[in-house]
Amino acid sequence: MSVLYDVPGPRARRLSLIFSIVGGLLIAAGLIAIFVFLSQPRINAGGVAQPGVFDGSRWDLLGDRALYRAVWRGLSATLLMAGVAAVFAITFGILLSMARTATTAAIRIPAIVLIEFLRGMPVLLMMLFILLVFSTGQFWAGVGALAVYNGAVIGEALRAGIASLPRGQRESGLAVGLTPLQTRFSIEYPQAFRQMLPIIIAQLVVLLKDTSLAYILGYQELLNVVLKQGPTTFGPTYLFTLFFVVWAVYLAVNMALSWIARFVARRTAAGRGGGKSRRTEKIIAQLGGAGMAGASDPLSVPGARSDHDTGYQP
């Protein structure tokens, strides 16, 4: 229950019920209107009548094994690019966060400039740059741009994670005689990683979505194989069906990843307990953006301010 309104009394309940019914009807009417619109037969540009979107002749494709072979081919190319890019992005992110938190200004300041520049560039432009300037081929152009961009975002998240640790962690590491680098790797990073894991996974969802940009370069990924080439293979009337299939696959994969992020967030929250859980709660609150909706009621989480840039970006 939200603090914004009371536990409703009889009148408020009745009013809410009326609103709910009217609102529900409006939404349902909208959906039905879309449904009716889609199911109407239409005349295409050539003057040939085509069946409505929900006509069986448009959906018999779902029984065709060639479709699933195409989906698999596209999906594996997408996942391959996302996987390779994710490994490079996390590695690059760790390197950047180290450079960003270095005590030497000569390393730190270029790192800040680099991170800000990379985060401000369109991924597509970076892909194009790598493709045209380094002639790497579409796969590595995609991987390179995704790794560099998401690496910068992950690096920033890791830095925020390290910055949010109590100062005593680093100080006691140094006090027991570990070198600064040892302190970083055996004390600070493990904690920062655990704290930022939900954010990193959320960023991996972004990375996965962005692999579809490689379609514009001509890489043979899911969108390209099924949606662009599909109409030629299976027939142009299936375009809507193919769109639906691709959409469902993307939703399934991304929502599975988001679910994992939510699961991880909850686990790390449960595992630390007590005094520190508020910080994790705060991170989860920022991730309200990251498919973690419902993790908190409106107004129930304190201070989900600042650090927006580590959250889930469009």
Partner 1 sequence: MDAIIENLPRFVDAFLMTLRLLVVSGIGALMIGTLVAAMRISPVPAFRGFATVYTEIIRNTPLTLVLFFCAFVLPQLGVRFDYAIAATIGLTVYTSPFVAEAVRSGVNGVSVGQAEAARAIGLGFGQTLTMVILPQAIRMVIPPLINVLIALTKNTSVAAGFAVLELVAVSRQVIQFNGNATVTILVAVAVFYLVITVPLGQAANLLERRVMVQR
Residue range at the interface with partner 1 (CB under 8 A); choices 90-98, 100-108, 153-161, 245-253: 245-253
**Binders of partner 1 among 125-154, rule CB under 8 A?**
125, 128-129, 132-133
9 touches partner 1 by CB under 8 A: no
Measured from the CB of residue 114, what is the shortest distance to partner 1 in angstroms?
14
Per CB under 8 A, which region of 59-67, 158-166, 179-187, 208-216 contacts partner 1?
A: 208-216
CA pair distance 183, 168, nearest whole angstrom: 12
Which residues are 42's β-sheet partners? 50
What is the spatial distance between Cα 13 and Cα 231, in angstroms, rounded to a whole number? 51
Rounded to an integer, what distance in angstroms lies between the CA atom of residue 90 and that of residue 279?
Answer: 23
Measured from the CB atom, the residue of 123 and 192 that comes closer to partner 1 is 123
- Residue from 139, 219, 234, 312 in contact with partner 1 (CB under 8 A): 312
Exactly one of 98, 157, 160, 246 binds partner 1 (CB under 8 A); which one? Answer: 246
Judged by CB under 8 A, the residue of 59, 189, 193, 250 near partner 1 is 250
Using rule CB under 8 A, residue 291 touches partner 1 = yes
Residue 285 C-beta: closest distance to partner 1, Å: 6
Contact 71, 83 (CB under 8 A): no
Of 164-172, 190-198, 263-271, 286-294, the window that binds partner 1 (rule: CB under 8 A) is 286-294
How far apart, in whole angstroms, are the C-alpha atoms of residue 252 and residue 250? Answer: 5
Q: Which lies closer to partner 1 via its Cβ, residue 183 or residue 211?
A: 211
Based on the shown chain and the rule CB under 8 A, indicate whether residue 227 belongs to the binding site for partner 1.
yes
Indicate whether 230 belongs to the interface with partner 1 (CB under 8 A).
no
String of DSSP letters for 231-286: HHHH-GGGHHHHHHHHHHHHHHHHHHHHHHHHHHHHHHHHHH-GGGHHHHHHHHHH
Query: According to the binding rule CB under 8 A, does residue 198 interact with partner 1?
Result: no
- Whichever of 225 and 285 has its CB closer to partner 1, that residue is 285
Long-range contacts of 49-56 (CB under 8 A, 24+ apart): 50/237, 51/237, 53/240
* Token digits of residue 178: 């570990």
Does position 258 bind partner 1 by CB under 8 A? yes
Any idea which residue has 């730190």 for tokens?
A: 108
What whole-number distance in Å separates Cα of residue 212 and Cα of residue 219? 9
Q: Which of 36, 66, 176, 255 binds partner 1 (CB under 8 A)?
A: 255
Output the DSSP codes for 123-178.
Answer: HHHHHHHHHHHH---HHHHHHHHHHHHHHHHHHHHHHHHHHTS-HHHHHHHHHTT-
- Which of positions 149-188 make contact with partner 1 (CB under 8 A)? none
By the rule CB under 8 A, 80 interacts with partner 1: no
Contacting partner 1 within 17-56 (CB under 8 A): 19-21, 23-24, 27, 37-38, 42-44, 53
Counted residue by residue, the chain has a size of: 314
Nearer of residues 144 and 173 to partner 1, judged by Cβ: 144
Count of residues of this chain found to bind partner 1 when the rule CB under 8 A is applied: 74
When binding is defined by CB under 8 A, the residue of 81, 89, 123, 225 that contacts partner 1 is: 123
* Cα–Cα dist 114/108, whole Å: 10
Q: Using CA atoms, how far apart are residues 201 and 182, in angstroms rounded to an integer?
A: 26
CB of 122 or CB of 271, closer to partner 1:
122
